Amino acid sequence: MFKKLTKFLVSQMDPCKELVPVESIADNEHFRPLCLLIERRKSNRIFHSAPYYQRTGFTLEDVLLPGEDGKCIESLHQDSSQFTLRKTSADQADGGLSIAFDPASVGLQGGASLSKEFSITPQKKSVSLESLEALRREREINMDHSFIQQLRRTDIKLCMVLNMVTEILEASEEAVYRESTKADGGIKAKFYATFCAQGTREDKQSIVIPKGCTLAFRTIRLHIRDGTWDLDYFPAEPVRRAAYVADGPSQGKLGAVVAEVNYSCRIFPELSSDLLVIVLNTIKAGMRDKNLLQELRQKMEEVPEQNYGYELKTESPHLKDLFSTLQHSPRDRLLPLAEGITYVLDALYELMDDQLLLLLESLERKIVSQQLRLVRTQITFRSFQGGTDYFNSNNISIVISQVDN
Task: Indicate the average pLDDT of the chain.
Answer: 75
pLDDT 10s digits, 356-403? 888 888 888 888 777 777 666 665 555 444 444 444 444 555 566 666
Query: Could you report the per-residue pLDDT of 62-75, keeping only the tens digit for each?
Result: 999 987 766 666 66
Is the predicted pLDDT of residue 204 greater than 80, yes or no?
no
- Give the residue-averaged pLDDT of 32-60: 82
Beta strand pairing call for 20-21 and 214-225: antiparallel
Same domain, 144 and 293: no
Coil, strand or helix at 249: coil
- How much is the pLDDT for 176? 80
Residue 241 in domain = no
Q: Is residue 246 part of a domain?
A: no
Phi-psi bin for 22: left (phi > 0), alpha (psi -120 to 50), beta?
beta
pLDDT tens for each residue of 101-138: 444 554 545 555 556 676 788 888 888 888 899 899 88
Whether 259 and 336 share a structural domain = yes
**In 200-272, alpha helices (H):** 252-264
Secondary structure of residue 231 in the 3-state scheme: strand
Q: Give CA–CA dist 364/369, Å, rounded.
A: 12
Residue 62 is part of which domain span? 2-83+121-174+210-232
From the number of C-beta atoms within 10 Å of its C-beta (0-12, 13-18, 19+), residue 381 rates as: exposed
Answer yes or no: do 329 and 382 share one domain. yes
Same structural domain for residues 11 and 74?
A: yes
Task: Compute the distance between CA of residue 122 and CA of residue 82 in angstroms, rounded to an integer.
Answer: 6
Confidence of residue 213 (pLDDT cuts 50, 70, 90): very high
Tell whether 10 and 156 lie within a shared domain: yes
Number of domains in the chain: 3
Q: Would residue 244 count as lying in a domain?
A: no
Quick check: 183 and 110 in contact, CB under 8 A?
yes
Instruction: Report the pLDDT value the prediction gives residue 319, as an integer from 0 to 100.
Output: 92
Provide the percentage of residues in the chain whose pLDDT is more than 90.
18
| Same-domain status, 198 and 271 | no
Does residue 218 fall inside a structural domain? yes
| Higher-scoring residue by pLDDT: 321, 7 | 321
Do 228 and 264 reside in the same domain of the chain?
no
What pTM was computed for the model? 0.65
* Per-residue pLDDT, 158: 57
Q: Does the residue 256 lie in any domain? A: yes
Instruction: Confirm whether 247 is domain-assigned.
Output: no
Q: How confident is the model at residue 29 (pLDDT cuts 50, 70, 90)?
A: very high
Do both 217 and 69 map to the same domain? yes
Q: 151 and 42, same structural domain? A: yes
Q: What is the 3-state secondary structure (H, E, C) of 120-149?
A: ECEEEEEECHHHHHHHHHHCCECCCCHHHH
In a domain, 245, yes or no: no
| Same domain, residue pair 106 and 127 | no
User: Which residues lie closer than 8 Å to 263 by C-beta, 6 or more apart?
Assistant: 241, 243, 244
pLDDT at position 349, please? Answer: 83
Upstream peptide bond of 51 is cis (omega within 30 degrees of 0): no
17 and 57: one domain? yes
Enumerate helices (H) and strands (E) in the chain, giving the number of each.
13, 12
Distance CA 155, CA 305 (A): 7
Q: Exposed, middle or buried by CB within 10 Å (0-12, 13-18, 19+), for 258?
A: buried
Residue 290 in any domain: the answer is yes
Judgement on whether residues 204 and 153 belong to the same structural domain of the protein: no
